[in-house]
């Protein structure tokens, strides 16, 4: 049976006139909850995040990618309508192009993070896209985690949507990935070999006292502590909702391919964490505009060639789920027009205005 997949997206709340981030999540959430009254519980998809300038939603688990696409578009539209009633817009940007002083939420957990991690917490106004794919057991899930590691930087590169930070061009396609990497538990990890070893290592990290709980295990990919899924966490939130669907498609293909390899007893690639960090840095720097490290060799190759290698790697899984043709077409579109990072830079190059960048991205967020 085809695995289910769900997507969590974080969105920025910005002023309708200036495009500057606004700390309105409490009001927007209240309006969104009001819209959902009397409807099915699954329609209440919105949650608060660390900062009051952002909003999160999560889709239901889906097997059909067309249904997933419809739900992402619907959730973005509902977020936009609730934000508009509060005097704001929502925009799928992984960092705010304009200068901002982030406001941390009032919850006890958020206060603990602010006290414990100081400026790192204050500066984490970043928006990601997390993809959940169902697994049959923790053992299968860890088998997947051990085998998807080299491919996750390619997923990051395809999502790059954060070139600007505090009013400046960072020279990165995904600066969010650099900011997110400041958390002590973020990034790539070693292979685990078994579910027992995975849980043992997670508990050891929590027992250091550095982390508050297992919810702070910010690995690039992890076993979800809430759902029976592998959760891939490397991606920027995508400007175009179609790109979010493509990411979900490719991640499901990676999970299925890895699960088949694990089931067949094939060993994972032993590539070290140091090389994976190099690959992640290169992906965050280049996006799809330059070279990426090829997962099979860890040597630089043109980004389109590495993306083609990803498609080849998951070919059989995509063919079996009925997603191959759509994924090939979607990859072609992304390579032709570029990621959200290229879109932002093109708008800035033509207008000289980061306000115009935000305005254009607001209009593109709904697709």
H/E segment holding residue 286 = helix 273-286
> Is the model's pLDDT at 96 over the cut of 90?
yes
The rounded mean pLDDT for the chain is 95
At 13-25, the pLDDT tens digits run 999 999 999 999 9
Q: What is the mean pLDDT of residues 269-296?
A: 97
Residue 276 has pLDDT above 70, yes or no: yes
The average pLDDT across 222-243 equals 97
Max mean pLDDT among 44-48, 198-202, 224-228 falls in 198-202
Please write the tens of the pLDDT for every residue from 110-155.
999 999 999 999 999 999 999 999 999 999 999 999 999 999 999 9
Region 248-263: what's the mean pLDDT?
98
The class level of CATH for 5-365 reads: alpha beta
Closest CA to 76 of 238, 226, 234, 229: 238
The 10 Å Cβ neighbour count of residue 112 is 12
Region 37-66 average pLDDT: 83
Residue 234, both tokens: 């490397």
pLDDT score of 41: 46
Instruction: Please return the burial class of 81, using the count of CB atoms within 10 Å of its CB with bins 0-12, 13-18 and 19+.
Output: middle
DSSP structure class, residue 7: E
pTM: 0.95
* 326-330 average pLDDT score: 98
* Strand segments (E) across the chain: 5-15, 46-48, 54-58, 88-91, 128-134, 164-165, 168-169, 221-223, 229-236, 291-293, 300-302
Q: What is the DSSP letter of 185?
A: T
């Amino acid at each position: 049976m085809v695995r289910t997949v769900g997507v969590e997206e974080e969105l920025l709340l910005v002023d309708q006139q200036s495009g500057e981030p606004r700390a309105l999540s409490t009001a927007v959430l209240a309006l969104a909850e009001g819209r959902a009254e009397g409807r099915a519980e699954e329609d209440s998809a919105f949650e608060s995040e660390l900062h009051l300038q952002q909003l999160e939603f999560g889709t239901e688990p889906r097997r059909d990618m067309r249904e997933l696409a419809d739900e992402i578009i619907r959730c973005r539209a509902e977020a936009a309508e609730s934000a508009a009633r509060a005097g704001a817009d929502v925009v799928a940007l992984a960092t705010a192009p304009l200068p901002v002083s982030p406001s941390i939420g009032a919850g006890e957990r958020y206060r603990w993070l602010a006290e414990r991690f100081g400026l790192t917490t204050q500066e984490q106004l970043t928006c990601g896209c997390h993809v959940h794919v169902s697994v049959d057991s923790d053992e299968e899930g860890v088998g997947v985690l051990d085998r998807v590691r080299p491919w996750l930087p390619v997923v990051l590169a395809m999502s790059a949507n954060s070139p600007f930070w505090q009013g400046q061009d960072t020279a990165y396609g995904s600066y969010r990935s650099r900011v997110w990497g400041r958390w002590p538990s973020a990034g790539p990890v070693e292979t685990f070999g078994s579910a027992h070893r995975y849980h043992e290592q997670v508990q050891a990290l929590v027992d250091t006292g550095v982390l508050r709980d297992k919810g702070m295990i910010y690995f690039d990919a992890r076993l979800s502590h809430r759902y029976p899924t592998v959760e891939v966490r490397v991606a920027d939130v995508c400007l175009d909702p179609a790109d979010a669907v493509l990411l979900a498609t490719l991640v499901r293909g990676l999970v299925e391919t890895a699960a088949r390899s694990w089931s067949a007893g094939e060993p994972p690639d032993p590539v070290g964490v140091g090389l994976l960090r190099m690959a992640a840095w290169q992906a965050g720097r280049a996006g799809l505009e330059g070279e990426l490290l090829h997962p099979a060799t860890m040597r630089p190759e043109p980004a389109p060639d590495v993306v083609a290698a990803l498609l080849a790697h998951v070919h059989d899984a995509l063919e079996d789920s009925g997603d191959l043709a759509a994924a090939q077409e979607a990859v072609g579109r992304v390579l032709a027009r570029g990621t959200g990072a290229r879109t932002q830079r093109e708008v800035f190059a033509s207008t000289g205005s980061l306000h115009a960048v935000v305005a254009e991205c607001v209009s593109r967020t709904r697709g």
